[in-house]
Amino acid sequence: MNIFSKCICYFLRLPAEFKGMTFGKNSFIGPGYDFLFVNLSNVTVKDHVMIGKQAWIQTVDNGKISIGSGTHIGRDVVLSARKHIAIGNNCLLSYRVSILDHDHNLNSSASSPMQSGVTKGLAITIGNNCFIGANVCITKGVTLGDHCVVGINSVVAKSFPDNSVIAGNPAKRIKSTDD
C-alpha cells in the first residue's frame, strides 16, 4: 500500500475511531458509513481489513463485533450486534449482506412497533476463509464453520459445519467444498 493510499485509509476511518472503533494496520472503511449516534468501542477490526461504502455497523447495549485479519466486506453491509458477531480471518462478504444477532420484539401491547424493542442477542460466528454471497441474511445464533460458501439471496437461520456450500431460503447444505 503506497503512502497516498495509507493517508486516504487513515482519514476515512477517523470518524469511526472517534466513536471508539479500533483498527489494525492497513485496514480501511469506505465513505458513507452510518453510525452517527452509535458507540463503536466494542467493534474491533484486525489487520488488512476492507469495509466497503455505506456500511451500517451497530452495537446494541454491550454487543460486540470482531472482524478478523484479511477480511473484505462489500458495500451496503449491515452488522448489528446485541451479543456478539465474530467474523473470521480471510473472509469475503459480498454486497448487501445483513448479519443481525437479534430480532425486533413482537409486542402487541406496545403502541407502535418502534416501541417494542429488540430480543435477547444470540452470538453469530463465521469461521475463517468463508465466502458470503450478495443479499444474504444471517440470523441470530448461527455458526458457520471454516471454508463455508453461502449462495446469493440465502437466509441462514441455522448453523453449518466446516466446508459447507449452502443456499436457499431457508438455507440448506447443498454439498461440501471438498466434493
> Measured on CA atoms in the order 86, 138, 58, 89, is the torsion positive or negative?
positive
104 is catalytic: yes
Residue 16 CA from chain centroid, whole number: 16
Largest CA distance in the chain: 57
**For residues 66 and 86, is the Cβ–Cβ distance under 8 A?**
yes
Query: DSSP assignment of 58-73, as one string?
Result: EE-TT-EEEE-TT-EE
Neighbours of 76 (CB within 10 A): 17
Cell triple for 134: 450478495
Exposed / middle / buried, residue 80 (Cβ in 10 Å: 0-12, 13-18, 19+): buried
Helix (H) or strand (E) run with residue 4 in it: helix 3-18
Catalytic position from the list 48, 72, 102, 104: 104
Which residues does residue 167 pair with via DSSP β-bridges, in sequence order?
172
Catalytic residues, by residue number, are: 104
